[in-house]
Amino acid sequence: MFISLWRTFFLYVFVSVALRFMGKRQIGELQPSELVTTIMISNIAAVPIENTESPLINALLAVILLACMEVLFSALALKSRSFRGFAMGHARCVIRDGMLDEKELRSLRWSLDDLMELLRTNGIFDIDEVLFAIVETNGSLSTYPKHRFRPVDNGALNISLDGCEAPPMLIISDGNVDFAALNYCRRDKKWLDKVLASEGLKVSDIFAMSCDRDGKYKIFKKEKR
Amino acid sequence: MKRIYISAALLILTAIGCHMALDRMESAVLDMTEYAQAITEQINHERFDQTESEIQKIERLWQREKNLFRIINGARQCDELETSLNRVRIFVLQKEKSPEALSELSDFILSAQRILRSQRPGLINLL
């Protein structure tokens, strides 16, 4: 029992260090320690399922240990900058002031094709459009385009829109009213009943109904079978 | 913050639980070994009046602790130990100084100690 705990602890540290050593190429979306925890938990949980002779308690304890260590390590990373740097690495700037940083690319073991692939997934097809490109600690690429390639927004055009900016919410989903969403839209059941009465519908007739805080709504009726 | 405290508490509880379970297992194995050695001694000196009560002590102890052993070690090792204990019982109740009885006792002691050894936190086990 103790042995599986110690083994889990050592494997967690070992795999985390190995993953950090392998670099950001191996990571996508998750932080290194999160990835390690996910991989290890799924593998540990699979063993007692496959092998019914193996005591379940070892797997349970190992999963508890991993989950607790992940929480504690992330708390430690939150408190200590140096620990965060050690455990998760640092963001790396691969395009700085519009210039490619070959040294950084080499240290990340990224080819230009890898960089272009990630730029394309960000909607950028010309490297000349990028002022800064930063490889985040989770391996994803964040880009900051040059001024002339930035999309024009309402602020730049001094356009002010009337009404609120909150997005619409689904207040009825498959014939069920979501009262939390209704509350978010600053509406109540009375309002909903009134609207439905004016449309000549019952809640059970509606597949989906969205509404925003201005009270603008859209109804999708259920298909008749 | 609550999650951090819960995690720390869970880790401490797990460590304490493991320590207590290992302690209990160690004490049970030591007692079983002691009784088995006493039986060996009695067989060697052909004093069979006490052997039955000693074997009953081992059986009682095993009945009390076998669930803990099964949870921690799994069924296979415990089945081996239980089989070995049954064989010891058969040979010992014959009340004869036979090499088979002594060999079974020695096997039983080794099986019990192997279970404990496999759970001890040490570098060899860890690797």
Which pLDDT score, from 0 to 100, does residue B27 have? 93
**Domain identity same for A7 and A84:** yes
For residues A7 and A66, membership in a common domain is answered with yes
Strand order in the sheet with A176-177: A176-177, A169-173, A206-211, A217-221
The Cα diameter of chain A in Å comes to 70
Residue A18 has pLDDT above 70, yes or no: no
Residue A34: pLDDT band with limits 50, 70, 90? confident
d(CA B114, CA A90): 47
What is the span of the domain harbouring residue A68? Answer: 2-88
Mean pLDDT of A79-89: 83
From residue A123, alpha-carbon distances to A75, A132, B28 in Å are 35, 15, 67
Query: Is residue A155 in some structural domain?
Result: no
Q: Are residues A96 and A140 both part of a single domain?
A: yes
Is the model's pLDDT at A153 over the cut of 90?
A: no
Which residues from chain B sit within 8 angstroms of residue A61, using beta carbons? Answer: 14, 18
Whole-angstrom CA distances from B118 to A90, A102, B121 are 41, 52, 8
Q: Which chain B residue has the Cα nearest residue A59?
A: B72
**What number of helices (H) and strands (E) belong to chain A?**
8, 8
Q: Do A57 and B72 touch (CB under 8 A)?
A: yes
Q: Where are the domains of chain B?
A: 22-126
Q: A67 pLDDT exceeds 60?
A: yes
Tens digits of residue pLDDT in B72-118: 887 788 888 888 888 888 887 777 778 888 888 888 898 888 888 88
Which residue of A lies nearest to B71 if distances are taken between CA atoms? Answer: A55
Domain count, chain A: 3
**Is A47 at the interface with chain B, CB within 8 A?**
no
- Co-location of A15 and A78 in the same domain: yes
Looking at A41, A69, A88, the residue that finishes a domain is A88
Tens-place pLDDT, residues A89-102: 888 999 999 999 99
Q: Quick one: pLDDT band at residue B51, thresholds 50, 70, 90?
A: confident
Residues of B in contact with A55 (CB under 8 A): 70-74
B contacts of A54 (beta carbons < 8 Å):
74
Report the distance separating Cα A217 and Cα A185, nearest Å.
10
Q: A20: pLDDT confidence band, cut at 50, 70 and 90?
A: low
Same domain (yes/no): A6, A70: yes
| Mean pLDDT along residues A59-73 | 84
Shared domain for A130 and A173, answered yes or no, is no
Enter the tokens of residue A203: 């809640």
Cα nearest neighbour of B15 on chain A: A2
Q: Cβ–Cβ of A5/B126 closer than 8 Å?
A: no
Choosing among 3.30.200.20, 2.30.30.20, 1.20.120.290, 3.50.50.60, the CATH entry for B22-126 is 1.20.120.290
Give chain A positions within 8 Å (CB) of B125: 3
Q: Collect all residues of chain A within an 8 Å Cβ-Cβ radius of residue B73.
A: 55
CB pairs A-B closer than 8 Å: 58
Contact across the interface for B76 and A53, Cβ inside 8 Å: yes
